[in-house]
Amino acid sequence: MIDKLNKAFESRVRLGIMSTLMVNDEVDFNTLKELLDTTDGNLASHASALESLGFLQVYKQFIGKKPNTSYKVTKDGRKAFNKHLDALEALLKNR
């Protein structure tokens, strides 16, 4: 059962990013940073890893003169995270 867990979601921050994005259409960087109580660099690093796996889409824009980065879960990301959750649930049921 444990082999069905996705290593991409082992980190507390990545698990938090995905959990937040699964229930919100889009979330900006500062909101994620506050929700997950993490640093800029830590969040950026984990978001970049999830993006490179094709699990996140990153949107960069300027609001006024301030840069704004927001994230959205991809179809592949949603599928992979749901499989991960199913594996966790199965693991818990087989205790």
Kindly indicate whether the domain formed by 2-93 is annotated with CATH number 3.30.830.10.
no
Per-residue confidence band for 95, with pLDDT thresholds at 50, 70 and 90 = low
| Domain boundaries along the sequence of the chain | 2-93
Predicted TM-score (pTM) of the model is 0.92
pLDDT at residue 64 tops 70: yes
Cα 91 to Cα 4, 30, 31, 58, 80: the distances in Å are 9, 34, 31, 32, 17
pLDDT, residue 78, reads 98
Tokens of 47: 């978001």
**Is 40's pLDDT higher than 80?**
yes
